[in-house]
Amino acid sequence: MADFLNNLLFIFQRLNWLSVIDILLVTLIFYGLLYWLRGTQAMVLLRGAILIIVALILITSLFNLPAFSWLVQNSLPALLLSIPVIFAPEIRRALERVGRAGTLPVLFNKTNHPEFEETVHLIVIAVARLSARQHGALIVLQRLDHLDEYIRSGVILDAAITPELLMQIFYPNTPLHDGAAILSGPIVVAAACVMPLSSSGILNRSPDRQMGLRHRAALGISEESDAVAIVVSEETGSISIAQAGRMIRRIDSERLENILMTFFRSTNNTQSNWLKRWITPNPERKEEKP
């Protein structure tokens, strides 16, 4: 114990402000890594890898096993090379989030853009009616990231948003009710769009594991882009909203409107080009229509 305390005192005596910054940077990197991996299958893999490494270190330290120690020392570099392969989806998702961090949050100023507030209100009315009728729905609101890949998988509409239109799209057994409706500003761009399913482990835990494909698709598109996805459960009529790989469940229409306004309300006018896409229809996409 005395040797341990002496070694600890020796370490603290050598600390300076550069050492503190160094330690804080390493801590920040590990915190960011664990934060990005939380709630995913990769977290389970990482936990298993850490347990194996700790066990190997303890065995080689406590016992004199030359052959086993040699095997461990020569295998660890190969295991490090396998990390990019095992965690490829999570690494790609983390790099996408870092890339989006270079852009200021897209918010809206409802004083300068009253059309946006009206658009959000129409969406909330439609979602509330779908919830009351227990009609399953998946509505994706486009933000900075383009969703052209997913728009092409559905039926192009380019129609102005109305509660009646959204209710008709998701009416059971109609041609467009399967899949997602993608909205860009006051326009329903496309319906019956195919969304990527989430690879997150969030839905594997109770009670979220009881959610169906619509919720998995909502989480999936929120993981692949900065879009906001609204889900109405066909079984219970409950409303959920997904953004950045996270889902808020069982919300009412009033809270939904507040959340949407929080996501999109503007405090920065430098996003004027993106705002125009919300205020006016996309002329290029209209020209593509036959």
On whether the pTM is more than 0.75, the answer is no
Question: What pLDDT score was predicted for residue 122?
Answer: 93
Q: Is the pLDDT score of 290 beyond 50?
A: no
Question: What pLDDT score was predicted for residue 161?
Answer: 93
Given a contact cutoff of 8 angstroms between Cβ atoms, the answer to whether 251 and 128 are in contact is: no
In sequence order, the 6+-apart residues with CB closer than 8 A to the CB of 175 are 155, 192
Question: What pLDDT score was predicted for residue 280?
Answer: 46
Question: What pLDDT score was predicted for residue 110?
Answer: 37
Q: Is the pLDDT score of 90 beyond 60?
A: yes
The full set of domains in the chain, from first to last, is 2-101 (no CATH), 114-288 (3.40.1700.10)
Instruction: Convert 176-207 to b/e letters by CB count within 10 Å (16 or more is b).
Output: bbbbbbbbbbbbbbbbbbebbbbbbbbbeeee
Q: Is the pLDDT score of 213 beyond 90?
A: no
Most confident of 87-96, 137-146, 210-219: 137-146
Cα 17 to Cα 216: distance, rounded to the nearest angstrom:
47
Q: Give the mean pLDDT of the chain.
A: 77
Q: What is the DSSP letter of 40?
A: B
Most confident of 79-83, 187-191, 195-199, 224-228: 187-191
Q: What is the DSSP letter of 280?
A: S
Mean pLDDT of 186-208: 77
